Amino acid sequence: MSFCADLQDADARLGGKARSLARLCAAGLPTPVGFVVTDDLFRAIAPRFSPPEMVDEATLAELDRARAALLAAPFPAGFSQELAGRLAPGGLWSVRSSFANEERAGALGAGVYESRVAVPTAEVETAIRQVLASALSAGALAYALAHGMRPAAPPLSVLLHPYVRGEAEGGAACVPERPDQPIIQVRAGALPAAVAARLRSLLGALARTQGAVEVEWVAAGEDLVFLQMRPFAPPPAPAPWRGWAELEAAGESRTLWQWDQAHNPLPLSPVHAGLVALVDEHCRIGIRQRVLGQYLFYAPDARPGPLPISVQDAPARFASLRAEFESRLAALGHAPDLEPAIDLLLAIEEPIFGIIQPALRAARANLEEFLRQAMPPALPALAQVLAGVKSMASERRQRAAELRAARDAQARTQARDRYLELFGDETPVWDVAVPTCRETPEILYAGENRGLDPPAAVVNQQQTIAQVEKQIAPARREEWSRLLRMAREAAGLSEDDDWLYARVQAALRRALLSLGKKLHGTGALSEPSAVFFLPLPIVRSLAAAAPPPQNLQMQAAAGRAAWEAACRDPPPASVALDTVSVKGVGTGGRALGRVVLHRPASPRPTPGQILLAPTLLPSELPLLVAAALVTETGGPLDHVATQARERHLPAVVGAAGACRLFHEGDLVLVDADRGLVVRLG
């Protein structure tokens, strides 16, 4: 019985890589002369086992046993002699998988199976065993099942050819629609211009006859050798974001609307989206707000705004508003009704953001303009002049620092309670669906809420102010003192409004949860928190004692599913100068989620997380579940990118510096249409 075969395209025993080499040769391209060890060898030494249908512990244990048996089984009679007759003594060989499960467009098995290069003749038999054993790995099993293929399906052949040593090597791809625009990736060495031109020409000709193709090549001097050809699936053309379709359906232009990725980077729950629409309808705050694709957007407001107030009147107006707010908030109680809580939201939104905030911004602008005129060449950073202002923000930082500094359990408990006393109503995200710090105090320790981080060393603002004052003409120092006082007072007040807003949002959350508990008690909702995934008009009617519809739970489930889908379809990134981002090569698509760093012993990421790694082994990729992948290494034709495209998984590869810039838990947008990774929070 013969276990080896020459490279003939019509021979069904060849498998993926060997067949591609035969086709390249038939097309007149330079290839190494090789042969295959056929599937008959695998069937002779592999133990019989039933093709598994899932990846579980029992299956993996069975695979381990089968792989160990294959590695230990004796070769059949005559194989070693036949192999030795084909191997030139003293040379080096490439021993590569050529399996059925790596030659189908959309399921190329990129890097899943073993290949060995520069193998001495004496070690070829061992390399053949290792290549065949890779068909029984966990990654190979997961890959086959994920693509609807039979694990270890025949043929499992092994391609052997003399090792081609080159001065440069890499991959290239081309599509017939653009035969003169191939992708050429040089993985090692430098490709001479003349050889690159010939590679482009040959690749264009291949694409015209073979369709979209990808090749592996090696160059030595002026010589170019092709090692593999396979179908190429280019990154999909970026699809228009669905949120723009909502805007265009309303007959509005997208040019004015900006994603509020700095403050509200996550999609909003349906009930909070309803609150945004309600506020936009009833309040004039200088901007319009609307939810597109479940994300918050804003645009300039052409409607007449409320009557402005002077900078001098802002502190008194804020004090009056706060007193009224405290009285109305106390009257709501711990479990308020929904409508009074909504009324309180509408009552503070316009005064804070449409009247008081513009005056506070004017105070800062007045001081900045004064400094620009009074000391043009040495304008100090305004943040230094306004540092150290007493506010709720400075109090938050102080109490957070006490929490971080606590060492024993009792001190930590006391510091936590002291923090929650003032800031327990705050949340990591502006959405009533998100639990408050008081509900989930563990986020104070996890650092999930970035606002809790203790500040860096505070600049000695008194020294800075004194240095600035020395440079101001004596005749203008009284004006300087007045503007500085107003700007510092405004800086403190501008940070206090978030504290008020968080408390009214917490009251709304309590009102909604109270309603959710009632509906859950009647069986209308599966859990109280499902109320956040209902449209606000329905929630308001239920709060007014309207009977719940029969399909209420279905509506909540649909709202939750839409929110989860929005996480997988964020808006395209809008990168500002102060945004932390890295650039790489994208595979198409977008996703938003929290970073999890890849470590060999770390838990696997969950479907909503972004997996970040210096590099990833192609054999482990089929076992990983994540919203998106980011690697510091790799190119558009490497294994990670290829497998990501097959899985329609957004990925950015070659994102140098990503592991240094991003940390565990960071909220990032992976825009694989543009090859961008952007930190949002």
Q: Examine residue 432 and state whether it is found in any structural domain, yes or no.
A: yes
Same domain, 154 and 65: yes
What are residue 498's phi and psi, to 5 degrees? -60, -35
- For the chain, give the percent of residues with pLDDT over 90: 56
243 located within any domain: no
Residue 422 pLDDT exceeds 80: yes
Domain harbouring 15, CATH code: 3.30.1490.20
Nearby residues of 286 by Cβ (< 8 Å), 6 or more positions away: 300, 301, 305, 353, 354, 358
259 close to 527: Cβ distance less than 8 angstroms: no
343-398 pLDDT, tens digit per residue, is 999 999 999 999 999 999 999 999 988 888 887 666 666 767 777 788 888 888 88
Contacts of 267 (CB under 8 A, 6+ apart): 293, 294, 295, 563, 566, 567, 570
Classified as helix, coil or strand, 15 is: coil
pLDDT category at 43 given cuts 50, 70, 90 is: very high
Cα 225 from Cα 630, distance rounded (Å)? 32
Nearest-angstrom CA–CA distance, 569 and 287: 25
- Any domain includes 244: no
Same domain, 437 and 487: no
Highest mean pLDDT: which range of 360-364, 426-430, 599-603? 360-364
Please tell me the distance from the alpha carbon of residue 68 to that of residue 137, in angstroms, as a whole number: 11
CA dist list (Å): 78 to 82, 98, 128, 160: 6, 22, 16, 18
Q: Where are the alpha helices (DSSP H) in 616-681?
A: 639-646, 658-661
Q: What is the mean pLDDT of residues 146-173?
A: 91
The C-alpha atoms of residue 539 and residue 536 are separated, in whole angstroms, by 5
Q: What is the mean pLDDT of residues 571-580?
A: 67
Give the separation between CA 150 and CA 132, rounded to whole angstroms: 16
Confidence bin at 60 (pLDDT 50/70/90)? confident
* pLDDT reported for residue 575: 64
Q: Is the pLDDT of residue 104 over 80?
A: no
Number of folded domains in the chain?
7
Looking at the fold, whether 611 and 667 belong to one and the same domain comes out as yes
What is the arrangement of strands in the sheet containing 223-231, beginning at the earlier edge strand? 183-189, 168-174, 213-220, 223-231
pLDDT digits (tens, 9 = 90+) for 433-492: 999 999 988 877 654 344 444 343 344 567 778 878 888 889 998 998 999 999 999 988
Q: How far apart are CA 504 and CA 13, in angstroms?
A: 71
The answer to whether residues 93 and 158 belong to one domain is yes
* CATH code for the domain in which residue 671 is found: 3.50.30.10
Residue 68 CB: number of other CB atoms within 10 A?
Answer: 13
Q: What residue numbers bound the domain in which 445 lies?
A: 394-457
Confidence of residue 110 (pLDDT cuts 50, 70, 90): confident
Evaluated on CA atoms 381, 384, 390, 393, the torsion sign reads positive
Give the CA radius of gyration of the chain. Answer: 32
Confidence of residue 15 (pLDDT cuts 50, 70, 90): confident
The whole-number pLDDT of residue 54 equals 76
Q: What would the DSSP string read from start to end of 358-423?
A: HHHHHHHHHHHHHHHHHSGGGPPPHHHHTTT--SHHHHHHHHHHHHHH--SHHHHHHHHHHHHHHH
Same domain? For 519 and 604 the reply is: no
Over residues 639-647, the mean pLDDT reads: 88
User: Which helix (DSSP H) or strand (DSSP E) does residue 299 occupy?
Assistant: strand 295-300
Q: Is the pLDDT of residue 498 over 90?
A: no
Q: Is 204 found in the same domain as 75?
A: no
Q: 356 and 475 in one domain?
A: yes
Determine, yes or no, domain membership for 576: no
Q: How confident is the model at residue 1 (pLDDT cuts 50, 70, 90)?
A: confident
**End-of-domain residue from the set 199, 234, 269:** 234
Render pLDDT for 252-290 as a digit per residue (tens, 0 to 9).
888 889 988 877 888 999 999 999 999 999 999 999 999
pLDDT for position 448: 37
User: Burial letters for 240-273: b for 16+ Cβ neighbours within 10 Å, e otherwise?
Assistant: ebebeeebeeeeeeeeebbbbbeebbbbbbbbbb
| Residue 507 covered by a domain | no
Q: Do 282 and 352 share a structural domain?
A: no
